[in-house]
Every structure is written in C-alpha cells, then in structure tokens.
Chains A and B, each alone.
Chain A
C-alpha cells in the first residue's frame, strides 16, 4: 500500500485532482491499481485514468520542398489536439520544436501549445533546438530551475515521468549521448521507486538502436534502459525519425512518433536521412500527433496515433 502523496510530493499539478482525497493502492499482476477515498471520491475516481499528448518534430521555420507550409500542418496538429475528448492532462513535446533555431519559432510553438486546453507542455530539445548556441536559448526558456541541462522528472497520478536530453553532447563522428552526469541523475531518480511504478521516459533521439548508421540511436541509451528493466511497465517515447516505429523488449515498450512537419525515409532506405517529398495529397497522412492513455491496472499505456489527414 502506498498513498497519493507521490502525486503531490514532487510538486506537479498539485491543484488537479487530489485535494482533500487520498488513494488506496493495490497491486494486481505487478501493476498498481488505485481507488480514491475521502471527500470527492466519485470525482477523483473518474479521474484515475488520464491521457496526455505527444507532439514532436514541429520544425517551425522549415520551408523545404518536403513541406513548404510546416506552420500550416502544425496548426492542423493543434486543431487535432484541441478536439480531443477528454482533454489531455498535459502535452509532451519530444523536440525539434524549431527548424534550426529559426527566429521566433520557439515563441510560435510555445504560444500555440498554451492554447490547447491542457495544463502545460513539457519539452525536451532536439538537435535543431540547440545546435547554433549550444542550447543556451532553449535552456533559458524551458529548463530554468531543473536538475541539470534540460532533463526533468515529474509524477502524475501514480505514473513516473522522466524527460531525457540526448542532443547536447554531439561530437564529430560520434553518436548523440546522455552523458555520465545525466545517467547518474537518472539512476538516483529511479532508485527509490518500487518496481510496480509505471514509468514513462521521453527524449528526442530514440533511446534504442533504430538505425545507428544514420545516428538514429543514443550512444549510452543501453545504460539508461538498464536502470529501467526492473519496472513492470515502461513506455519510451521518442521523436527525431518522423515516423511511427514500435518495439517491445521485456516490459519496455518503445515508440517513435510522427512529425507535424515532414516525413523521413524508413531506416536505411535511400541514400540518407532527411526530409522526403511525398505527393501533396499524401503529406498530411504521414504527419500526426499521438495521444497516450493511462488506465490503472493496464500493464501498457495505450498509444493512439492520429494523422493530420
């Protein structure tokens, strides 16, 4: 048995649902189930499940042939999110917010995402957001007061979230990595949690080896995943490759997301990664956003991808 203080202890969304209530936990099949008690029980119970949105690779400022109107498709994605019912509790943006740090792009995205009706948006950077200035602008906007250079953690209704940064250690000829400081932080962050805690990890570049020849992997991702193996339910959400891929390894489920800006080739298909042009009428069908639903008692979070078509 645990209690609902986990939700409040880390200071996230304290006003959302648990004021004056508590939680009873039981574990079924290694997965925690909870029910609320105290005043407002019915209301709290109805809020046990929740959903959030993953949006990725908005690349605002991109004007290439693969999508001359990346702002327009981003706005279509915003419309999809606004139409969700029930509303997502929050959003996660898995990076490449901007295309090559084009002026004004951070503002465009953060202002638009404030208007979708969710409590807030959590960001991790992509390489396009940090390459020009080593991350200075990004970190000043999105990571002030955090534990390190943009990495972060929060708990929401019994689910533990970790945002990792794997685009700030780029070196010539090398793969992107998390780095020892962040890995040590991650190990410490996860250590006190019971293995029954559902964990969601999000980062820009895939933490698993999608296609190392194109840099579609995190060099020290395996070490991070080693810290996660003991948990009964781990969901890893990444962007970067602009297409949906899924892999299951033990209790860890990996998902990469679509972009809202342009598609990229399947791993290893063609001469290299990068934007690919599809017929205009097909473009919105390969772009999209993702809703992730959590229901206590289910060992895996439900991942629902919606195209912009």
Chain B
C-alpha cells in the first residue's frame, strides 16, 4: 500500500503530464500504466512497472531500499551502476519504442518504459 500511495503522490506532483480533467486517483485506482518521469524503487519493486513517456523525456529512478538495486535494460540500451539508498539514475529516451528493464541483483524486479513519438 505504501508503494501505491507513493505512486499517487507522484501522479499529483506532475500536473503537466496528468491531464487536468483526470480525477486524482485514489490509491486503489492507480493504473498500472501511468505517465511520469520518476520511478521509485521500494521493497524490491518498481513503483510504476510501466511508464509511458514522449520521446525526449528523461526518466529518473530513485532507490528507497536499504538494498542496492540496478536499472538495467534487458537488451543493454542503458545500465545503471548499483544504486544505494536514495541514489538515482536517469536516462533520456530519444527513440520511440518499448524498453524493458530489470534489476541485475534481483531479476524478478522488472519494469517497462514505453516511449511514444514526440508529436502524437
């Protein structure tokens, strides 16, 4: 539940990507797919397993765990170093497509970034 609350707070913190007419979701209604530029790592999970962004967007991951994690593309497009507590990793997605990633220390932790064309 903590992760869901964090995701909801994140949604509210980025009004530019959350259309004004969209009602603020309650934690139980947070969709699996959301727009945003920050993904939180907490309790061995990525807070937003799927993130959809426009090309040119920088996505930042922040690790809130005591454990070290990585953000590593499944096909080596990007690869963070080990992220300790409160450390971040950013990557700018310039080309539309689907980018799957995981933590090389805990491979059951997976996520996806969907990059849409800049003018869509």
Contacts and interface: CB of A to CB of B under 8 A. Distances in A.
Contact of A128 (B68, B100, B102): B68
Contacts of B84: 63-64, 100
A104 to B, nearest CB: 15
Contact of A273 (B44, B70, B74, B101): B44
Contact of A66 (B66, B74, B82, B105): B66
B107 interface: yes
Contacts of A117: none
A272 interface: yes
Interface residues of A, number: 29
Contacts of A172: 74, 100-102, 107, 110
Nearest to B45: A272
A81 B101 CA distance: 41
Interface of B: 2-3, 42-45, 65-68, 70, 74, 81-82, 84-85, 100-102, 104-108, 110
B82 A271 contact: no
A173 B102 contact: yes
Nearest to A128: B105
A170 B3 contact: no
A277 B81 CA distance: 25
A214 B82 contact: no
B113 to A, nearest CB: 13
A204 interface: no
B105 A127 contact: yes
B82 A132 contact: yes
Nearest to A101: B82
A274 B108 contact: no
B66 A64 contact: yes
A207 to B, nearest CB: 17
Interface string A167-180: 00011111110000
A272 B44 contact: yes
Nearest to A102: B82
A270 interface: yes
A126 to B, nearest CB: 9
A215 B42 CA distance: 16
B66 A176 contact: no
Given A272-B43, A272-B44, A170 B68 contact: no
Interface in A270-290: 270-275, 277
B105 A131 contact: yes
Contacts of A101: 82
25 contacts: A64-B66, A64-B84, A64-B85, A100-B105, A101-B82, A128-B105, A131-B82, A131-B104, A131-B105, A132-B82, A172-B74, A172-B102, A172-B107, A173-B107, A173-B110, A175-B107, A213-B108, A262-B66, A270-B43, A272-B43, A272-B44, A272-B45, A273-B106, A275-B66, A277-B66
B96 to A, nearest CB: 21
Contacts of A100: 68, 82, 84, 105
A270 B70 CA distance: 22
Contacts of A270: 43
Given A270-B43, A274-B44, A215 B106 contact: yes
Given A131-B104, A173-B108, A262-B66, 8 more contacts: A128-B68, A131-B82, A170-B105, A172-B102, A174-B107, A175-B108, A272-B44, A277-B66
Nearest to A273: B44
Contacts of A84: none
Nearest to A270: B43
A270 B65 CA distance: 13
